[in-house]
């Protein structure tokens, strides 16, 4: 049944050009939006730009432009980028749109009239970069944690929003709606903020200091604080209050943001909605940060990744696939071109691309390019129950997409891809083709493989829409049918026997690393081993290490330690052991439970963040990624390695 679905991205500041981080969030929103279109929902997807405030005014000045001309220029960079990344937003909102500004004034007036806004003198520590006051508790060594600069003391009269009186309500609301903020770790973070008393929010800036903003409807000497202005885009973008789209889509809204703006979205925004008499959003989906060489992307570090450059070198669908596959939604990920190239060559060129060209080539070789008949008896063991596997894959894919576990949805599709490659190896159609009595089986095997490819082409549609369409064309699907709709993917046997297929194409050519100016790399391989090889050891040195197989029984985050996970492991001893590992940036705790890992079992115990770690797990790691060593088949816990 068709349900409404509404997704938003943050509206991006126009003080810098769009980069990989903005592209990631917007592609996530596009993928989930296309997924809902696939589920036959009625969808609405909003993105846009945040254009008021001091930060923007200063950026304009630096460029020697008026704020108006400057915001027009940078906003256009965002607006024009999205179609080039195949992002199909329904509306692009700008906070300088007169319709948005009118809604902000309307909401402010309503909250003011009901007595939730008051005027007061305030002296506080103000960070111009963040455009907000900081309490001492929030500062790190007296400095702004984001800008590493000392805030200035400012004394002024301002308008305040009575957030504090909604604190209890918000805590209760979050408890009553346990999946409102997800993944869970961010809900916990918001609840942790709420354990401290909430202060009222200063929602105005005097025009004597900042002119570039929306005038308060009840005091023409003040403009609205940028966050109060920006958050309202999510309702003004639907045409609130009168547009029927608002009534339809608001109750189901899902926001996607990164962890940097959790507080305004997890605290200010629900309280603003409550005060304005509007329902709170359904989900706030929070993802982690893409880092480059373990640092935040920043202009000053010169490590800003431009999405269009990557698209031009590696292809759009490969770029979208990499972003969705290599980040666990909610955790940080390290961007590096080597792993992008590896994903393209292994998952796309090797696994999917080869499967597709093998099957289509066989249709041409054995059946003159015509889809064979399938209503002949099929020898079940020959197709390794592809139909059942495909049905299970569709269910698993839906389940994972609903919770934005994109990497798991992709892994499920790739299980099917691998299963199909296995079917080809096991059934050896080239052998069947040699034997006249095996023609029925050959037809059945090829037909089932074609059907499997059709299902895969539908399932990859949200992530790789161009490749999906190309595959469909070469599978002879009816171009007039919306081929990705879920009911078509749940039915086996939709391809019409007798259809003539076009010649096969290469879906993903293999690629080589294109990175420039890396004097240590040639074709992606370092010429010099880094870090340098350690001094030689003999067997006795090695034998002093007691390496063992262990099974992870439980895993959880170590409180207040962003990078650490605490594992309870079974080493085949009478009691479980505790082990602490610095892998929380890459692995979610539940990903590890049940896995077998390799542990240095005789390492002297050490305390990490107050937890005694008895042993150390082995992992491969460089500056941007970490991979825990596991076994390729199960072994009893405690087995020695050597
Ligand atoms: N204007 C505010 C948002 C107002 S929403 C009502 C803002 N803008 S921003 O330009 O700074 O964008 C922040 C968002 O950009 C993040 O929340 C995230 O969606 C995206 N990202 C920016 N850098 C990122 C990474 N390095 N990695 C992942 N996403 C990042 O905050």
Show which of 489, 514, 530 is a domain's final residue: 489
Whether 386 is in the pocket of ligand 1, judged by its Cβ within 6 Å, is no
Whether 261 is in the pocket of ligand 1, judged by its Cβ within 6 Å, is yes
86 and 146 together in one domain: yes
DSSP labels for 290-337? EEETTEE--TTTT-PPPHHHHHHHH-HHHHHHHHHHHS-TTS-EEE-H
Of residues 95 and 561, more confidence is placed in 95
Show which of 253, 270, 287 is a domain's final residue: 287
Atom 22 of ligand 1, residue of closest alpha carbon: 21
Spatial distance between the Cα atoms of 292 and 303, rounded to a whole number of angstroms: 7
Read off the pLDDT of each residue in 72-86 and give the average, rounded to a whole number.
Answer: 98
**pLDDT at 103 (0 to 100):** 98
Classify residue 497: in a domain, yes or no.
no
For the stretch 231-240, pLDDT in tens is 999 999 999 9
Classify residue 495: in a domain, yes or no.
no
Q: Round the average pLDDT of the chain to a whole number and report it.
A: 91
Classify residue 315: in a domain, yes or no.
no
Which position among 61, 91, 188, 296 bears the catalytic label? 296
Name the pLDDT band for 100 (thresholds 50, 70, 90). Answer: very high
The strand pair at 219-224 and 204-206 is best described as antiparallel
Atom 24 of ligand 1, residue of closest alpha carbon: 21
**Number of separate domains in the chain:** 3
Per residue in 61-89, is it b (16+ CB within 10 Å) or e — as a string?
eeeeeebeebbeebbeebbebbeebbbeb
373 and 462 together in one domain: yes
482 and 564 together in one domain: no
The strand pair at 333-335 and 290-292 is best described as parallel
Choose the residue to mutate in 22, 30, 49, 233 for probing ligand 1, maximizing ligand atoms within 8 Å of C-beta: 22
Which position among 299, 434, 515, 530 bears the catalytic label? 299
460 and 596 together in one domain: no
465 and 543 together in one domain: no
Classify residue 328: in a domain, yes or no.
no
The CATH number for 257's domain is 3.40.50.620
Cα–Cα distance list, 560 to 289, 465, 563, 609, 610 (Å): 18, 41, 9, 8, 11
Read off the pLDDT of each residue in 123-150 and give the average, rounded to a whole number.
Answer: 86
Q: Cα-flanking dihedrals φ and ψ of residue 364, to 5°?
A: -70, -40
Peptide bond into 531 cis (omega under 30): yes
Instruction: Report how far apart the first and last C-alpha atoms of the chain are (Å, whole number).
Output: 58
**pLDDT at 379 (0 to 100):** 54
- Select, from the ranges 33-37, 385-389, 555-559, the one with the highest average predicted confidence (pLDDT): 33-37
The CATH number for 357's domain is 1.10.730.10
Classify residue 302: in a domain, yes or no.
no
180 and 260 together in one domain: yes
Read off the pLDDT of each residue in 181-197 and give the average, rounded to a whole number.
Answer: 97
Name the CA dihedral angle for 79, 84, 87, 90, rounded to a multiple of 10 degrees: 40
Whether 219 is in the pocket of ligand 1, judged by its Cβ within 6 Å, is no
For the stretch 311-325, pLDDT in tens is 999 999 999 999 999
**pLDDT at 523 (0 to 100):** 39
296 catalytically annotated: yes
The separation between CA 281 and the C-alpha centre of its own chain, rounded to angstroms, equals: 19
- Select, from the ranges 301-305, 440-444, 471-475, 623-627, the one with the highest average predicted confidence (pLDDT): 471-475
Whether 95 is in the pocket of ligand 1, judged by its Cβ within 6 Å, is no
Whether 486 shows a pLDDT value over 70: the answer reads yes
Spatial distance between the Cα atoms of 325 and 335, rounded to a whole number of angstroms: 12
Atom 16 of ligand 1, residue of closest alpha carbon: 258
Using H for helix, E for strand and C for coil, what is the string for 576-638? CEEEEECCCCCCCHHHHCCCEEEEECCCCCEEECCEEECCEECEEECCCCEEECECCCCCCCC
Give the pair of three-digit tokens for residue 15. 């003080």
Cα(255) to ligand 1 centroid in Å equals: 12
Spatial distance between the Cα atoms of 638 and 453, rounded to a whole number of angstroms: 42
Spatial distance between the Cα atoms of 534 and 528, rounded to a whole number of angstroms: 14
For the stretch 412-442, pLDDT in tens is 999 999 999 999 998 899 999 999 998 988 9
Whether 186 is in the pocket of ligand 1, judged by its Cβ within 6 Å, is no
434 catalytically annotated: no
Kindly report whether the global pTM for this prediction surpasses the value 0.85: no
Contact 18, 77 (CB under 8 A): yes
Name the pLDDT band for 376 (thresholds 50, 70, 90). Answer: low
**pLDDT at 114 (0 to 100):** 97
Classify residue 329: in a domain, yes or no.
no
Show which of 459, 489, 519 is a domain's final residue: 489
**pLDDT at 514 (0 to 100):** 62
Whether 63 shows a pLDDT value over 50: the answer reads yes
127 catalytically annotated: yes
484 and 596 together in one domain: no
The CATH number for 615's domain is 2.40.50.140
**pLDDT at 529 (0 to 100):** 58
**pLDDT at 521 (0 to 100):** 37
Cα–Cα distance list, 231 to 101, 264, 471 (Å): 12, 8, 40
For the stretch 277-294, pLDDT in tens is 999 999 999 999 999 887
**pLDDT at 536 (0 to 100):** 82
Classify residue 303: in a domain, yes or no.
no
Whether 305 is in the pocket of ligand 1, judged by its Cβ within 6 Å, is no
Read off the pLDDT of each residue in 559-577 and give the average, rounded to a whole number.
Answer: 89
Give the pair of three-digit tokens for residue 483. 């081929």
Whether 54 is in the pocket of ligand 1, judged by its Cβ within 6 Å, is no
**pLDDT at 382 (0 to 100):** 52
231 and 345 together in one domain: no
Counting Cβ atoms within 10 Å, is residue 551 exposed (0-12), middle (13-18) or buried (19+)? buried
Spatial distance between the Cα atoms of 178 and 184, rounded to a whole number of angstroms: 9
Using H for helix, E for strand and C for coil, what is the string for 132-175? EEECHHHCECCECCCCCCCCEEEEEEEEEECCHHHHHHHHHHHH
Contact 226, 264 (CB under 8 A): no
For a pLDDT cut of 90, what percent of the chain falls above it?
73
472 and 374 together in one domain: yes
Spatial distance between the Cα atoms of 311 and 82, rounded to a whole number of angstroms: 12
Question: Would you call 14 helix, strand, or coil by DSSP?
Answer: coil
Which position among 127, 283, 287, 477 bears the catalytic label? 127
Q: Cα-flanking dihedrals φ and ψ of residue 16, to 5°?
A: -155, 160
477 and 548 together in one domain: no
Classify residue 21: in a domain, yes or no.
yes
Partnered with residue 199 across adjacent β-strands are: none
Whether 290 is in the pocket of ligand 1, judged by its Cβ within 6 Å, is yes
Choose the residue to mutate in 258, 281, 288, 328 for probing ligand 1, maximizing ligand atoms within 8 Å of C-beta: 258
Contact 566, 578 (CB under 8 A): yes
Name the CA dihedral angle for 632, 636, 638, 642, rounded to a multiple of 10 degrees: -50
Whether 258 is in the pocket of ligand 1, judged by its Cβ within 6 Å, is yes
Whether 522 shows a pLDDT value over 50: the answer reads no
144 catalytically annotated: yes
For the stretch 211-269, pLDDT in tens is 999 999 999 999 999 999 999 999 999 999 999 999 999 999 999 999 999 999 999 99
420 and 566 together in one domain: no
Cα–Cα distance list, 615 to 367, 545, 631 (Å): 60, 11, 18
Partnered with residue 612 across adjacent β-strands are: 607
339 and 469 together in one domain: yes
Spatial distance between the Cα atoms of 163 and 159, rounded to a whole number of angstroms: 12
Name the pLDDT band for 622 (thresholds 50, 70, 90). Answer: confident
Supply the range of the domain harboring residue 437. Answer: 334-489
């Amino acid at each position: 049944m068709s349900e409404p679905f509404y997704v938003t991205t943050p509206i991006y500041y126009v003080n810098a050009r769009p980069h990989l981080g903005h592209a990631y969030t917007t592609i996530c929103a596009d993928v989930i939006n296309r997924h809902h279109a696939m589920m036959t929902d009625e969808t609405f997807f909003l993105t846009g730009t945040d254009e008021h405030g001091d930060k923007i005014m200063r950026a304009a000045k630096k460029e020697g432009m008026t704020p108006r001309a400057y915001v027009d220029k940078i906003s256009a960079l965002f607006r024009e980028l999205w179609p080039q990344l195949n992002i199909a937003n329904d509306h692009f909102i700008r906070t300088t749109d007169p319709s948005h500004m009118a809604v902000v004034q309307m909401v402010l007036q309503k909250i003011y009239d009901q007595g939730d806004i008051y005027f007061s003198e305030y002296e506080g520590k103000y960070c111009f970069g963040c455009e907000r006051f900081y309490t001492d508790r929030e500062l790190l060594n007296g400095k702004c944690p984001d800008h590493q600069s000392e805030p200035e003391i400012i004394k002024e009269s301002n308008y305040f929003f009575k957030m504090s009186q909604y604190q209890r309500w918000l805590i209760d609301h979050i408890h009553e709606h346990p999946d409102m903020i997800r993944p869970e770790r961010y809900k916990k973070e918001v609840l942790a903020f709420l354990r401290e008393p909430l202060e009222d929010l200063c929602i105005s800036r005097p025009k004597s200091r900042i002119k570039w903003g929306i005038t308060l409807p009840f005091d023409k000497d003040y403009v609205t604080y940028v966050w109060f202005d920006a958050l309202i885009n999510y309702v003004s973008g639907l045409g609130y209050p009168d547009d029927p789209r608002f009534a339809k889509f608001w109750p189901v809204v899902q926001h996607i943001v990164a962890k940097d703006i959790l507080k305004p979205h997890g605290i200010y925004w629900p309280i603003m909605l409550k005060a304005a008499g509007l329902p709170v959003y359904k989900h706030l989906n929070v993802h982690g940060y893409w880092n480059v060489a373990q640092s935040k992307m920043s202009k000053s570090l010169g490590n800003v990744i431009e999405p269009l450059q990557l698209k031009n070198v590696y292809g759009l669908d490969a770029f979208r696939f990499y972003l969705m596959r290599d980040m666990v939604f909610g955790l940080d990920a390290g961007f590096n071109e080597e792993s992008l190239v590896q994903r393209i060559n292994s998952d796309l060129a090797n696994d999917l691309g080869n499967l597709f060209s093998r099957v289509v080539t066989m249709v041409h070789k054995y059946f003159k390019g015509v889809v064979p008949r399938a209503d002949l008896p099929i020898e079940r063991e020959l197709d390794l129950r592809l139909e059942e596997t495909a049905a299970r894959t569709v269910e698993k894919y839906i389940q994972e997409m609903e919770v934005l576990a994109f990497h798991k949805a992709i892994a499920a599709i790739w299980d099917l891809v691998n299963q199909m490659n296995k079917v080809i190896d096991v059934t050896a159609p080239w052998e069947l083709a040699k034997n006249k009595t095996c023609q029925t089986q050959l037809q059945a095997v090829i037909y089932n493989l074609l059907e499997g490819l059709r299902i895969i082409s539908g399932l990859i549609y949200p992530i790789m829409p161009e490749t999906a369409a190309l595959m469909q064309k070469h599978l002879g699907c009816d171009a007039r049918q919306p081929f990705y709709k879920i009911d078509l993917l749940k039915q086996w046997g939709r391809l019409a026997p007798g259809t003539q297929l076009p010649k096969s194409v290469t879906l993903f050519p293999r690629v080589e690393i294109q990175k420039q100016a890396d004097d240590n790399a040639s074709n992606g391989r370092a010429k010099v081993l880094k870090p340098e090889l350690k001094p030689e050891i003999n067997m006795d040195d090695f034998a002093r290490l007691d390496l063992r197989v262990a099974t992870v029984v439980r895993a959880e985050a170590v409180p207040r330690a962003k990078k650490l996970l605490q594992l309870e492991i079974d080493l085949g001893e009478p009691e479980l052991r505790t082990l602490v590992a610095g892998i929380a940036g890459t692995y979610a705790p539940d990903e590890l439970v049940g896995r077998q890992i390799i542990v240095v079992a005789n390492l002297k115990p050490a305390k990490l963040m107050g937890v005694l770690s008895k042993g150390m797990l082995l992992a491969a790691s460089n500056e941007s990624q970490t991979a825990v060593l596991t076994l390729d088949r199960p072994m009893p816990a405690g087995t020695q390695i050597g």
